[in-house]
A = this chain, B = another copy of it.
Amino acid sequence: MTSPDIADLAIRVMAGERRALARAITLVESTRKDHRIQSDELLQRIGRDNSVAAPKSLRIGLSGTPGVGKSTFIEALGMRLVARGLKIAVLAVDPSSARSGGSILGDKTRMELLSRQSNAFIRPSPSQSELGGVARRTREAIRLVEAAGFDIVLVETVGVGQSETMVSEMTDIFTLLIAPAGGDELQGVKRGIMEIADLIVINKADGALAPVARSTMSDYAGALRLLRKREGDPEGFPRALTTSSVTGDGLDEVWAAITELDAWRRASSHHTARRAAQSRLWLSRALERGAVEMVTRHPGVAGALRDLEADVAQGRLSAEAAADQLLAAFRAEE
């Protein structure tokens, strides 16, 4: 694409043209070097014309293991939001999609009703096996859908490896979806998740599972009470709730909790501070990764690194002295 093509694409994305949006996301997902340069230009154009980082948008992270009912939950919640006149974009992060071939998140039959709505936009996970790459592409896709006028951006993940933490670091509110279970069935949530979740939603609270869901909810509510309240959050958060995507029970309460927390955080400037911290975090990570790659890929450093790793592991050398030696080797040869 030439520069005028990119300018045109940026205008069409900002006009909310779905095909342009899909094409723009494909561009930022590409790993080709020329596409990366074009992506950067596209994002710059959209940033320049799009005021300050979509201040009105709400970015919701959603995680849950396969089978917990993420798709039906998103569809049921999304249909309610669309009915209220909101525009919702659903992005997916599935770091396993490259390995597993066909991603469950790319399945065309998912969210059939929601995907037909003009105020909804659903995009499967980019097929990348490297989480860092998925992170960048997803953050850029968030920028694009916001530029296209979607104010609710839901980023879902199946929770492989570190993907929940990554998603929480690019969203405003993080929701964990859990299946009703008790006693031995209860798998337990992955370590670290209880710490980042703003809401724990026990799904499938209908029929025979309803009482199990309520008891699962009170287990999690109890566990959440043992954690110190997050600074700047209102009473009652993190919160555990039950919901049924089939009957619709609890969906309004989930949305009410999300908007209550969001309103509180915006009023207390936590929202702005969190987004600013996130953007600093991504920049410093990118710079760290770049600086470390620049040093470790330098001839003369790579070999030394391996030897020094062993020295540090065996206690012959402090980590800091080893790092100093590596940087000195880099400087000497640069």
Contacts and interface: CB of A to CB of B under 8 A. Distances in A.
14 contacts: A43-B317, A43-B318, A43-B321, A52-B314, A54-B315, A136-B318, A192-B192, A194-B227, A276-B313, A279-B313, A283-B319, A287-B326, A288-B292, A291-B327
Interface stretch (A85-93, A181-189, A259-267): A181-189
A313 B227 contact: no
A182 to B, nearest CB: 11
A131 interface: no
A284 interface: yes
Contacts of A287: 292, 295-296, 322-323, 326-327
A149 to B, nearest CB: 15
Nearest to A219: B226
A47 B317 contact: yes
Interface in A184-225: 186-192, 194-195, 219-220, 222-223, 225
B229 A188 contact: yes
Residue of A295, A308, A312 most packed against chain B (CB within 10 A): A312
Interface residues on A, range: 35 or more
Contacts of A323: 283, 286-287, 289-290
Contacts of A139: 318-319
A230 B190 CA distance: 9
Interface string A266-282: 00000000011001101
A294 interface: yes
Interface string A139-166: 1100100000000000000000000000
Contacts of A249: none
Q: Is the interface of A mostly helix, strand, loop or mixed?
A: helix
**What are the 3 closest A-B residue pairs judged by CB atoms, nearest first?**
A47-B316, A286-B323, A291-B291
B188 A226 contact: yes
A143 B312 CA distance: 11
Contacts of A54: 315
Contact of A53 (B53, B189, B190, B314): B314
Contacts of A308: 283
Contacts of A291: 288, 291-292, 294-295, 327
B143 A315 contact: yes
A107 interface: no
A141 to B, nearest CB: 11
Contacts of A313: 53, 275-276, 279-280
A32 interface: no
